[in-house]
Structure 1
């Protein structure tokens, strides 16, 4: 199940569909409409735990959405009212779990506490055709232990509530590779999750779901920017914090960079910071971004791994921004999806796990 919020590009959504992704995690009625319009046969799951009642009603009656997430009795009652107490719902109760192993925490805003989970699970079981438990370990989880510990919380909740659970949804958080962040192979995450799932007190027919966003789209696109000015180790570029570089500015994310110049520079790299084009001082990306020390005004830079939360975060603040897109066939600047040659299975991605 692809988390649309990471990159809502219709072109990307079609590519994922063509490669076997049939279910989509949508978090707003706008995302519901987008995917329904782009892929009429897709299965949509409304996984935001707090939704407008009219959004739930439109999703259910107009777009055929049957799966909803919740983390409170209030939301459960809202879903029941909006769907007129439908009997064909899959309701996924979101548990609050730790984000200590992730680069970006998602531990405080959503999720029912362990103390309140029993009552909510029991009530949701009465209202649902299928009952699920979901969680989110935070964005860019750097170890499979994040999922192992979250699954232990799932186990405790099931035992305490004594309910039959039909779906376990491990959410997102699957990482990508960035400068200074090299996570373990994805295979280790899958093995850890599958092992924990197999040991849960659930029915034999229970389904295991996941909601990857970043891991499916980070490598999808790069951003090409132009240097408008150089001031020592500071480069003024024509995109920034209010454009596709939100994460670089506001959470200190470092992205791979390359100078696009012919002939290539032979000068050794130097650490630079970036300023974006707006009038705002916080339009600043500290980096450091390693580029040849002779970079100058007029040069172009490729900033890679911006398929996740790049275009999705853009604004038109101060009148800056561009929607120009060029399709390129080159490989991503960094990838977790390397191909290994094996005698028994030639050309298999190294992160693929056979269960």
Structure 2
């Protein structure tokens, strides 16, 4: 991990997202390790919010995917670009990354020996040129003939392109449907596949079933749509990229086992009209890092019974809770806390002056929670850090590493049989 971080510091293309100005914001404590969140708050007594990473959880998730997914695993960089978690993923064997912008590809390119996929279906001409000529990226996604033409022109008619046509598939039981903005269907998809086949060295199909998809049949339906289009277009497909969508565990979301998803994907792939050499790729983000990071916040005020005003919120790492309704697991961090104290539902209010900065939960906490207490908000590793802003002057975080286990782990059930047979 230390070697990875040192190598990244040499070539990092953009500054880290954490503050390093001093103890008032907690920035000077970056990279300190603690056994638990209680140990951390007892020693640091942070005034600002703290990102508490568990790299071992990210490494465990990566190893599970590499072992169980029947193809290549590329991490969705947008989910979390923390150097601590990237180092854990890389150390576990993740060397392919899905990037969606020039800033992401510049940052990811500093990781030794990586292979990058530029899978955003709409890119600027500048981004295409930089990706191909400066970073040797051959792999691009598209969902229109106009985008295909841009790629051909800006790579100067390159003959070594790996082009993936993004198709639209139904979003079944996903928390964040993604089929409306990107993806092509029907005769347009057939025509685009034929035209892309004519210029691509490798032709691929890609889709996304939606973020936090809780049932495996969503992938089965997506494969069926891809199968129909391949047959109707009459093209040879060299690769299928099933995107992300794999779920994590939250208080209000208990998805199927990840192994059930893998079973459906294997069975569906076996029925596809492709050769045995066709590559299968996935791009998990949430499932690899969600449980690998927590947010530690401080209670500034308890108001009107069960309203807690905390020092981070919807303009910070809790965007998904404020705007998407995610209910993250929480626990009160206090020395001598009675483990048998009854829990009550609370709602959170963020530190900004905006009235929409509200996380309604409910978040179950001991009834005695009060001003000055610290709360760990778990499983925010996916998109929490990435979506934080500096609105109202907030958005500064310390970084620490915790060595205990996440509050929820979707991998615990997967690994339980191994533990029982050990």
Give the TM-score of the pair, scaled to structure 2.
0.80
Deviation per residue, 1:101-158 (Å, 9 max, x gap)? 2011101000012231111000100110000000000001110010000000000000
The runs of 5 or more residues in structure 2 that have no matched partner are 1-73
Q: Is the 8 A contact 1:66 1:88 kept in 2?
A: yes
State the match for 1:302 in structure 2.
Answer: 376
Q: 1:331 to 1:161 in 2, by over 3 A?
A: same
State the match for 1:153 in structure 2.
Answer: 225
Which 10-residue stretch deviates more, 13-22 or 87-96?
A: 13-22
CA RMSD of aligned residues (A): 1.2
Matches within 5 A, 1:205-220: 205-220=277-292
What is the aligned counterpart of 2:364 among 285, 290, 293?
A: 290
C-alpha distance in 2 between matches for 1:228 and 1:173: 36
State the match for 1:96 in structure 2.
Answer: 168
What is the DSSP-based 3-state SS (H/G/I as helix, E as strand, rest coil) of the residue aligned with 1:340?
helix
What is the DSSP-based 3-state SS (H/G/I as helix, E as strand, rest coil) of the residue aligned with 2:335?
coil
Deviation per residue, 1:203-262 (Å, 9 max, x gap)? 110011101000000011100000000011100000000100000000110000000001
Verify: 1:22 aligned to 2:95, yes or no.
yes
Structure 1 residue 323: deviation in Å? Answer: 2.4
C-alpha distance in 1 between matches for 2:395 and 2:389: 7
What is the aligned counterpart of 2:199 among 127, 132, 154?
A: 127
C-alpha distance in 1 between matches for 2:419 and 2:209: 36
State the match for 2:296 in structure 1.
Answer: 224
- Indicate the structure whose relative CO is greater, using CA pairs within 8 Å and at least 6 residues apart: 2
Which 10-residue stretch deviates more, 318-327 or 52-61?
A: 318-327
C-alpha distance in 1 between matches for 2:317 and 2:365: 19
What is the DSSP-based 3-state SS (H/G/I as helix, E as strand, rest coil) of the residue aligned with 2:322?
helix
Q: Is the 8 A contact 2:210 2:245 kept in 1?
A: yes
Structure 1 residue 100: deviation in Å? Answer: 2.6
Deviation per residue, 1:21-58 (Å, 9 max, x gap)? 11100011111001002x13100000000001100110
State the match for 1:254 in structure 2.
Answer: 327
Q: 1:182 to 1:343 in 2, by over 3 A?
A: closer
The runs of 5 or more residues in structure 1 that have no matched partner are 347-355
Verify: 1:5 aligned to 2:78, yes or no.
yes
Q: 1:341 to 1:102 in 2, by over 3 A?
A: closer
Structure 1 residue 340: deviation in Å? Answer: 2.1
What is the DSSP-based 3-state SS (H/G/I as helix, E as strand, rest coil) of the residue aligned with 2:382?
coil
Verify: 1:334 aligned to 2:408, yes or no.
yes
Q: Is the 8 A contact 2:76 2:99 kept in 1?
A: yes
State the match for 1:169 in structure 2.
Answer: 241
State the match for 2:124 in structure 1.
Answer: 52
What is the DSSP-based 3-state SS (H/G/I as helix, E as strand, rest coil) of the residue aligned with 1:230?
strand
What is the aligned counterpart of 2:106 among 30, 33, 50?
A: 33
What is the DSSP-based 3-state SS (H/G/I as helix, E as strand, rest coil) of the residue aligned with 1:301?
strand
Report the number of matched residues. Answer: 345
State the match for 2:313 in structure 1.
Answer: 240
What is the DSSP-based 3-state SS (H/G/I as helix, E as strand, rest coil) of the residue aligned with 2:389?
coil
Q: 1:23 to 1:235 in 2, by over 3 A?
A: same
What is the DSSP-based 3-state SS (H/G/I as helix, E as strand, rest coil) of the residue aligned with 1:146?
helix
Which 10-residue stretch deviates more, 257-266 or 150-159?
A: 257-266
Deviation per residue, 1:271-310 (Å, 9 max, x gap)? 0000000000000001000000110000000000011011
State the match for 1:351 in structure 2.
Answer: none
Q: Is the 8 A contact 2:116 2:137 kept in 1?
A: yes
Q: 1:344 to 1:322 in 2, by over 3 A?
A: closer
C-alpha distance in 1 between matches for 2:369 and 2:419: 45
Structure 1 residue 342: deviation in Å? Answer: 4.3
Give the TM-score of the pair, scaled to structure 1.
0.95
